[in-house]
Structure 1
Amino acid sequence: MTLLSAHSLGITLGTRLFSNLEFSIQKGDRLGLVAANGRGKSTLLRCLAGLSDPTEGGCRTARGIRVTLMVQDPDPDLLRLPMRDVVLAALPAGTRDWEAWRADVVLDALELPEGLRANPFGELSGGWQRMALLAQAWLTEPDILLMDEPTNHLDLQRIGQLQRWTAALPKETALLIASHDRAFLDETTSRTLFLRPDVSVAFALPYSAARASLDALDAATAREHANALRQADQLRRQAAKLNNIGINSGSDLLTVKTRQLKDRAERIESAARPAHRAASAGKIRLSDGGTDAKTLLAMHEVRVTTPDGRPLFGTGKLWVHPGDRVVVLGGNGAGKSRLLHHVTRVMRGETHAGFRINPSIIPGICDQTLSHLRPGETLHQAIADRFEVGEQRIRALLAGAGFVVERQGRMVSTLSGGQKARLAMLILRLEEPNFYLLDEPTNHLDIEGQEALEGELNRGEAACILVSHDRRFVKSVGNRFWLIERGRLVEIDAPDAYFAAAMVR
């Protein structure tokens, strides 16, 4: 049964996000929505939920069908309310008192702790806010649940819980999931829609298989386009020869033939469809400062503690060499970010028992909050105040990162999460580090950005210690893995067993 269908749907907001979009959602569908940042995913979801109007075309829902959107960010007016009241806000005001029990059922199903339900929503962690927003959406009992980046801010345990929750949904409930988490899409969807400005493409496959099919389709389209242009060029050459002969001989027949060849060439060129070229959101590139040192960082029985001094774990004896890309694994609160915090302080000149660093280290540091960005400065100032480069070079660098010249005077505070991440990576590159410390670097990066960052980290000899909940990113980048368990930091061969265990805790 068709629950929702889109016909010639298009949205233009300054630039065309997408057009002529045709797709449908059937009962029980599990559909993944994929596009780069700023290409219209959230806008499309709002349109499907009836919260905004398209520029062209429209969508129809079957009679009595409820479509609910799980938003990325809560309404600012709700931030001071207790979490339970935020969830209850999904119900009509007149029914909240006598239907409040339904909120408790949903909160229990999503395993949101009793102790958090009375806390102000704005004081919750990003992960708990995410789960509460899901509870709010599910409380409406939708036939179609639209999920906008549902795994943002979630740790592996919560991602695993979310995967199990989606798998246990009633079979007739349809899901449309917009996400940059490739592993999550593979686990939760069976169809994939790639949203594009001109011709969007859908496959009855989960993300990874669909992506391979999309790449093959684009390659075939590119070959067909090139062949068509070569054929048109040959026809135009033949027409030019016949035209010369016709002029010299005065033959009307050759003149007619020349026109026919030109017309045929024009028809071929008009019909030829070029391969899709994504309008890049900006390249992510990293510098490889290089060093001749054999050991960049050594740790000998370092004691990692909480900010108030409580012990978390000890490191034993561990080393980092050029080209090592070390992933630190462990549950929430195990001390992963604290380890990076201690290493950061040592690299900035502070002393800490058990650390030894090579003086050739040039650190490149990016934490979860992108704290090296200053909200009160413009994009232009973010580069000019840190690096001695000329005006033209600044404009070119920012344009290469996806910020057109006309917008380089914007304040950093006005940027989206994805734009801030790209600016942060540009600043890192210009610092020319040979040792990266990265805490959740793929937060807010779209799939294009994730793949670019993977390529940059794998390309050079710079060392890296990173923390990430992105399973695909970890397996693509890491070549060494440190696991925090039972109060010790131990090296393991691969992350797969840890991932499997973490997802079911």
Structure 2
Amino acid sequence: MGSISLRNVGVTVAEPLFQNLDLVIADGDRIGLVAGNGGGKSTLLRCLAGQAEPSAGTIIRSRGLKVGFVEQDVPANLLDLPLAEMVRRAIPPADRESQGWRVDLVLDELETPDDLRARPLRALSGGWQRLALLARTWVADPDALLLDEPTNHLDLDKIRLLEGWITSPLRQVPMVIASHDRQFLEACTNRTLFVRPEASRLYAHPYFAARALLADDDQADATRLARDAKEATRLRQSAAALRNVGINSRSDAAQKKSMQMAQRAEALERTLRPQHLARTADIRLASRTTHARVLAAFDDVTVRTPDGRALFRTGKLEVRQQDRIVLLGRNGVGKSQLVALLRRAMADPEAMPGVRVAPTVVLGYLDQQMSQLPPRETPHDFIGGTFRLGDQRTTSLLAGAGFMVDRQRQTIDRLSPGQKARLGLLAIRLAEPNFYLMDEPTNHVDIAGQEQLEAEILAQQATSVLVSHDRSFARAIGTRWLLIEGGKMKELDSPGDLV
């Protein structure tokens, strides 16, 4: 096989993303990369792939090592190719005829339907585009595999398929996987690297055990820092007192001893910088009360596609106060269409026969594409104008959500997906809703943000209807479970292995 070795590697873009990183990626390693939005995961993967150079240190690859890199987005020049042809072109031209069987093999492993293989990539769902990129990379027979957010746009069935594919004994090449999906990292990795600006930490464990060890180490660091800070203060005070004694008694020995104490205090103070300086970007929610017991009700409504094709019937359903309903089902069964229908009913109750909405409902809405955000406005104009806030208050709120001042004045269409998600969640907070309607709210939100959102929904006891393929998130907040399958929607006593 081969290996990739990192020695004192760092990348600085205005400020350090990571530094002094020492790491060996070798046979059998499946390393999970964990960091906040903008924390350097994709940058580190590009450095490992040889597509970018670090600001410091060296990366050494075994001679002849072939690195396969599955990025988040499909290159524009591949979008019009049929899926199977796009994969086939990853094989060197001289070998395509003799090695073409490998295309069918990898597509079979990923359970790709025959009718999809001839379709152009741009006509496929985001999930199948992700799997097509993986197939294209694997068919080139890499010696190491780098995956950047591989579960984006995948439903739970496809995520489990991908987990089985990655952990198969057939795939023992070194892998590095950047993901915000905690359950996926737990299932697929055996080492975890927490990428940090000051001192990254590597643990020989999957995500959940590694996260517990990280918390212990961070607490130990905080205890040490508090102890050293107290000792530095004591030394400073003692040095000052001894210096006064030396001056008053004209004792050179006392003054020399005072200088030594001050130097020891200064040396301690130089170590007081925390090893982890969190990039603060709070996610908070705010809810208003309602006396309505039932906030929304469906009377056997037919949910349809935008072009009118029937998908399923809801049956009779009530959404009661403090329900947190998770919609389950494969991609394409109509979960997002039900969310869209409910949103329309809340905007205009008379336009949706069969759907009743309590008059006191105030909606907080978030969808996968952040379509509720005006793309040509700036975050500052959107937040300030929508909620009639002054300039200073708007700037402060956006800063708390992780937007530097220069980002606040850029148009929303130039923001990253993670930044758009945080802006959408800030807007929901300021609306103070009593009903949360969210379609994949954790898409593009980092793990720290997901955990904050979970905690806020639970703390607010927020009535919610949501779609999520993030199993950790769905398990943490769900109180009711609706499965859409076979043209019907039914309530489950528990989600079982569906999440």
Q: TM class, shorter-chain normalised?
A: over 0.9
Give the equivalent residue in structure 2 for 1:252. Answer: 252
Give the equivalent residue in structure 1 for 2:69. Answer: 69
Return the offset for 1:42. Answer: 0.8
Q: Which letter maps to 1:321?
A: R
Give the equivalent residue in structure 2 for 1:320. Answer: 319
Give, in whole Å, the separation in 2 of the partners of 1:251 and 1:367: 74
Give the equivalent residue in structure 2 for 1:27. Answer: 27
Give, in whole Å, the separation in 2 of the partners of 1:195 and 1:145: 19
Structure 1 vs Structure 2 CA RMSD: 1.9
Matches within 5 A, 1:95-494: 95-170=95-170, 172-280=172-280, 282-351=281-350, 352-494=352-494
1:422-459 CA-partner distances (Å, limit 9, x unpaired)? 11112222222110110111111111111121122111
1:85-138 CA-partner distances (Å, limit 9, x unpaired)? 322332334443443332222222212222112222122110000000000110
1:339-371 CA-partner distances (Å, limit 9, x unpaired)? 212211111113333322210001111122211
Return the offset for 1:305. Answer: 3.5
Return the offset for 1:79. Answer: 1.4
Q: Which letter maps to 1:249?
A: S
Give, in whole Å, the separation in 2 of the partners of 1:182 and 1:214: 15
Give the equivalent residue in structure 1 for 2:4. Answer: 4
Return the offset for 1:211. Answer: 0.7
Give, in whole Å, the separation in 2 of the partners of 1:84 and 1:422: 37
Return the offset for 1:497. Answer: 3.2
Q: Which letter maps to 1:440?
A: E
Q: Which letter maps to 2:239?
A: A
Q: Which letter maps to 1:63?
A: R
Q: Which letter maps to 1:285?
A: R
Q: Which letter maps to 1:179?
A: S
Give, in whole Å, the separation in 2 of the partners of 1:321 and 1:109: 43
Whether the 8 Å CA contact 1:334–1:484 is kept in 2: the answer is yes
Give, in whole Å, the separation in 1 of the partners of 2:140 and 2:307: 43
Secondary structure at the residue paired with 1:33? strand
Whether the 8 Å CA contact 1:3–1:27 is kept in 2: the answer is yes
Give, in whole Å, the separation in 2 of the partners of 1:139 and 1:229: 56
- Which segment is superposed worse, 89-98 or 320-329? 89-98
Give, in whole Å, the separation in 2 of the partners of 1:106 and 1:429: 45
Whether the 8 Å CA contact 1:437–1:466 is kept in 2: the answer is yes
Whether the 8 Å CA contact 2:323–2:463 is kept in 1: the answer is yes
Give, in whole Å, the separation in 2 of the partners of 1:456 and 1:463: 12
Return the offset for 1:415. Answer: 1.4
Return the offset for 1:336. Answer: 1.7
Whether the 8 Å CA contact 1:219–1:275 is kept in 2: the answer is no
Structure 1's 485 and 115: CA in aligned 2 closer, same or farther, altered over 3 A?
A: closer
Whether the 8 Å CA contact 1:143–1:172 is kept in 2: the answer is no
Unpaired runs of at least 5, structure 1? 500-505
Matches within 5 A, 1:46-65: 46-65=46-65
- Which segment is superposed worse, 325-334 or 192-201? 325-334
Secondary structure at the residue paired with 1:227? helix
Give, in whole Å, the separation in 2 of the partners of 1:412 and 1:158: 31
Whether the 8 Å CA contact 2:199–2:275 is kept in 1: the answer is no
Q: Which letter maps to 1:390?
A: G
Whether the 8 Å CA contact 2:349–2:356 is kept in 1: the answer is no
Give, in whole Å, the separation in 2 of the partners of 1:414 and 1:37: 15
- Which segment is superposed worse, 488-497 or 365-374? 488-497
1:124-183 CA-partner distances (Å, limit 9, x unpaired)? 110000000000110121121011111000001100110111121435311111100000
Structure 1's 93 and 384: CA in aligned 2 closer, same or farther, altered over 3 A?
A: farther
TM-score where L is the length of structure 1: 0.94
Give, in whole Å, the separation in 2 of the partners of 1:128 and 1:71: 14
Give, in whole Å, the separation in 1 of the partners of 2:364 and 2:77: 38
Whether the 8 Å CA contact 1:103–1:139 is kept in 2: the answer is yes
Whether the 8 Å CA contact 2:374–2:382 is kept in 1: the answer is yes
Whether the 8 Å CA contact 2:301–2:313 is kept in 1: the answer is yes
Give, in whole Å, the separation in 1 of the partners of 2:476 and 2:45: 30
Whether the 8 Å CA contact 1:2–1:24 is kept in 2: the answer is no
Give, in whole Å, the separation in 2 of the partners of 1:87 and 1:371: 32
Give, in whole Å, the separation in 2 of the partners of 1:318 and 1:275: 51
Q: Which letter maps to 1:238?
A: S
Return the offset for 1:213. Answer: 0.6
Matches within 5 A, 1:83-98: 83-98=83-98
Give, in whole Å, the separation in 1 of the partners of 2:294 and 2:279: 41
Return the offset for 1:276. Answer: 1.3
Give, in whole Å, the separation in 2 of the partners of 1:245 and 1:15: 45
Q: Which letter maps to 2:196?
A: R
Give, in whole Å, the separation in 2 of the partners of 1:437 and 1:336: 12
Whether the 8 Å CA contact 2:17–2:196 is kept in 1: the answer is yes
Whether the 8 Å CA contact 2:81–2:120 is kept in 1: the answer is yes
Unpaired runs of at least 5, structure 2? none
Percent identity (aligned): 49
Return the offset for 1:309. Answer: 4.4
Give, in whole Å, the separation in 1 of the partners of 2:391 and 2:41: 35
Give, in whole Å, the separation in 2 of the partners of 1:102 and 1:27: 23
Give the equivalent residue in structure 1 for 2:81. Answer: 81
